[in-house]
Amino acid sequence: ETGVTQTPRHLVMGMTNKKSLKCEQHLGHNAMYWYKQSAKKPLELMFVYSLEERVENNSVPSRFSPECPNSSHLFLHLHTLQPEDSALYLCASSQTLAGAPQYFGPGTRLTVL
């Protein structure tokens, strides 16, 4: 498999559930990102990891918990979400933190009931 993959592609969860989103990049990149894409709003950068270290957390609520066990994998753990958290969650990677375009996965469409 090539590029950036994300699983699951679709997820429906209740407000009390705990679930995780997975992202894997096969590009040998060192930086990975989580974005939230909501209707009628610009993409929102949530988290940035470089070489498995979190370098940015853009005031994201604690009900979203990222994990980066190695440079190829990135997780987003979800718990006690709200309906307004329903969105498309996109993962991206880049060669380094600076000076590189980002390559995106297909996203996970999350619906919170």
Query: Which lies closer to another protein via its Cβ, residue 66 or residue 105?
Result: 105
Residue 59: which residues within 8 A CB-CB, separation 6 or more? none
Name the segment binding another protein (CB under 8 A); options: 13-21, 59-67, 76-84, 93-101. Answer: 93-101
Residues near 99 by beta carbon (within 8 Å), at least 6 away in sequence: none
Strands in 8-102 per DSSP E: 10-13, 18-25, 31-37, 44-50, 53-57, 64-70, 73-79, 87-94
Distance, CA of 51 to CA of 94 (rounded, Å): 11
Span from 12-20, 47-55, 59-67, 72-80 in contact with another protein (CB under 8 A): 47-55
Is residue 83 near another protein by the rule CB under 8 A? Answer: no
Binding of another protein at residue 77 (CB under 8 A)?
no
Given a contact cutoff of 8 angstroms between Cβ atoms, the answer to whether 102 and 3 are in contact is: no
Rank residues 10 and 16 by Cβ distance to another protein and give the closer one: 10
Nearer to another protein, 44 or 67 (CB): 44
The reply on whether position 59 binds another protein by CB under 8 A is no
Q: Which tokens hold the place of 16?
A: 């009390």
Residues near another protein (CB under 8 A) are 4, 6, 31, 40-43, 45, 48, 50, 55-56, 90, 92, 94, 97-107
